[in-house]
Chains A and B, each alone.
Chain A
Amino acid sequence: MIETDILIIGAGPVGLFTVFEAGMLKLRCHLVDVLPQPGGQLEEVYPKKPIYDIPGFPSVLASDLIKNLMEQIAPFKPGFTLGERVDIIHQQEDGKFQITTNKGTQFLSPTIFIAAGLGCFEPKRPPIANIRDYEDIGVDYIIRDPEKYRGKEVVISGGGDSALDWTIYLADVAKKVTMVHRRNSFSGHLDSVDKVMALAAAGKIDVVLETEIVDVEGSGKLEKVQLKNHNGELSTIDTEYWIPLYGLSPMLGPIADWNLNLDKKSILVDTDDYSTNIKGIFAVGDINQYKGKLKLILCGFHETTMAVQSAFSICYPDKKKHFKYTTVAGIEGF
């Protein structure tokens, strides 16, 4: 079990900067992030986009901001657990938290900072009332093992690259592949589109355009999907699997199960110190919500700086906290 003073969930810019402000108070930090590298959205979604509202930087590329933050916090030797998602938080009788990830890694910490940005990215679920009833018994949002579909009937929907790529791949694996797309053209890579159209022309797959899947049927497993074309005409296809591929969307994920006060997909905090309703758990950056909230990186930096002051009092209730300016003695790392 890894022990730390602050367990930070989310290694985006605000999670990273938490290490600096905590370090100034001699608090040790450990970060956990579901992504395989630090930086959150900045590294994963828009690394080469310039950001213009970081004070002191007229313009900074998102990936450079992360690189600089990593350099800035290096003296405080933060721990990283990457590629894992915090699933369970259990508060002990002494007030400390036992934290467990989806891969079983465990931590013990008196405080938790949730700096999880938009939350976890999960596959988007088509808006069909009973779709959940067929998940794992025919409706799959992620293809984990393509062999599962060998010799089976499969319907794939979506018009992006992953729908095209899997259609091409499964054409040789499944008994029958039907691709369903809302428009009559695709937004994916041209060579993938050409391959899909060639497979359709050769009769290896069916491509159904200007059509959406509007219903699922079956008893005990998926048996049919219902289609509706752009003229409103309905039809059905018999199929054992439907793989809707519509990208990812941010969800709170396990955070929703931790008895925190929530407002839709955000965690409500007290603006005195960005604490949540559970003593010892703070929420900083895009994941929190309060009156006047602005989802800006610079606001997250402020929030976590304030929160760290309260975290100190929880970690060391008997110690006096000394406010320090970096200009006086520079940075004293661990």
Chain B
Amino acid sequence: MADVRITIIDREGIEHLVSAPTDMSLNLMEVCHEYGVEGTCGGMALCASCQCYVESDHILHEMGSEEMAMLDQAFFVKSNSRLGCQIRITSEIDGLVIRIAPAE
């Protein structure tokens, strides 16, 4: 299975083109970890430390109630906000561009 390419814009505004495997059950929070995303709760949508803004026009799966509830408690939320931990690394997100939200 081919890796997907994702552009991650970190909190300093620096773009990183990274490739990530689709056969590791990874999520976007785990891929963003080395760019300053903490993932405090371990990927259970129980914190908003992996909030990111989707800047490409990919149509991602709809938010679940847990993700929506957590974003309701988060700051710096915009219409294109998502929790990275809820976005699986699959072939559908090849070319995705995301910007990491400010730390709370």
Contact segment of A32-40, A108-116, A243-251, A269-277: A243-251
Chain A residues 98-131 with CB under 8 Å of chain B are: 118, 124, 126-127
Measured between C-beta atoms, what is the minimum distance from B35 to chain A in Å? 15
* Whole-angstrom CA separation of A124 from B51 in the bound complex: 15
Query: What size tier do the contact residues of chain A reach?
Result: 20 to 34
Q: Are A124 and B69 in contact (CB under 8 A)?
A: no
Q: Are A160 and B73 in contact (CB under 8 A)?
A: yes
Question: What A residues does B73 contact at CB under 8 A?
Answer: 124, 158-160, 246-247
Chain B 34-52 interface 0/1 with A at a Cβ cutoff of 8 Å (1 = within): 0000001110101100000
Question: What A residues does B46 contact at CB under 8 A?
Answer: 45-46
Chain A residues 254-284 with CB under 8 Å of chain B are: none
Q: Are B65 and A187 in contact (CB under 8 A)?
A: yes
Q: Does B12 contact A (CB under 8 A)?
A: no
Measured between C-beta atoms, what is the minimum distance from A183 to chain B in Å? 7
Question: What A residues does B40 contact at CB under 8 A?
Answer: 118, 250
Q: Are B75 and A186 in contact (CB under 8 A)?
A: no
Q: Are A159 and B75 in contact (CB under 8 A)?
A: no
* Whole-angstrom CA separation of A189 from B46 in the bound complex: 17
Question: What A residues does B74 contact at CB under 8 A?
Answer: 246
Chain A residues 280-306 with CB under 8 Å of chain B are: 295
Q: Are A127 and B44 in contact (CB under 8 A)?
A: no
Chain B residues 30-86 with CB under 8 Å of chain A are: 40-42, 44, 46-47, 65, 68-69, 72-77
Q: How many residue pairs between the two chains, A and B, have CB atoms under 8 Å in the bound complex?
A: 41
Q: Are A160 and B72 in contact (CB under 8 A)?
A: yes
Task: Knowing A127-B75, A246-B75, say if A46 contacts B69 (CB, 8 Å).
Answer: no
* Whole-angstrom CA separation of A110 from B42 in the bound complex: 34
Residue of B nearest to A295 (CB): B42
* Whole-angstrom CA separation of A183 from B102 in the bound complex: 20
Question: What A residues does B47 contact at CB under 8 A?
Answer: 249-250
Question: What A residues does B44 contact at CB under 8 A?
Answer: 45-46, 49
Question: What B residues does A127 contact at CB under 8 A?
Answer: 75-76, 102, 104
Q: Does A182 contact B (CB under 8 A)?
A: yes
Measured between C-beta atoms, what is the minimum distance from A5 to chain B in Å? 32
Interface centre among B47, B69, B75, B104 (most CB of A within 10 A): B75
* Whole-angstrom CA separation of A182 from B71 in the bound complex: 10
Question: What B residues does A183 contact at CB under 8 A?
Answer: 72
Q: Are B72 and A182 in contact (CB under 8 A)?
A: yes
Q: Are A182 and B76 in contact (CB under 8 A)?
A: no
Residue of A nearest to B65 (CB): A187
Question: What B residues does A249 contact at CB under 8 A?
Answer: 47, 104
Q: Are B75 and A126 in contact (CB under 8 A)?
A: yes
Question: What B residues does A246 contact at CB under 8 A?
Answer: 73-75
Question: What A residues does B76 contact at CB under 8 A?
Answer: 127
Q: Are B75 and A124 in contact (CB under 8 A)?
A: yes
Question: What B residues does A160 contact at CB under 8 A?
Answer: 69, 72-73
Residue of A nearest to B63 (CB): A187
Residue of A nearest to B68 (CB): A187
Q: Are A187 and B72 in contact (CB under 8 A)?
A: yes
Residue of B nearest to A230 (CB): B79
Measured between C-beta atoms, what is the minimum distance from B80 to chain A in Å? 13
Chain A residues 153-208 with CB under 8 Å of chain B are: 158-160, 181-183, 186-188
Interface residues of B (CB under 8 A from A): 40-42, 44, 46-47, 65, 68-69, 72-77, 102, 104
Q: List 13 A-B contacts (CB under 8 A).
A: A45-B44, A46-B44, A46-B46, A124-B73, A124-B104, A127-B102, A181-B72, A183-B72, A187-B72, A247-B73, A249-B47, A250-B47, A295-B42
Interface residues of A (CB under 8 A from B): 45-46, 49, 118, 124, 126-127, 158-160, 181-183, 186-188, 246-247, 249-250, 295
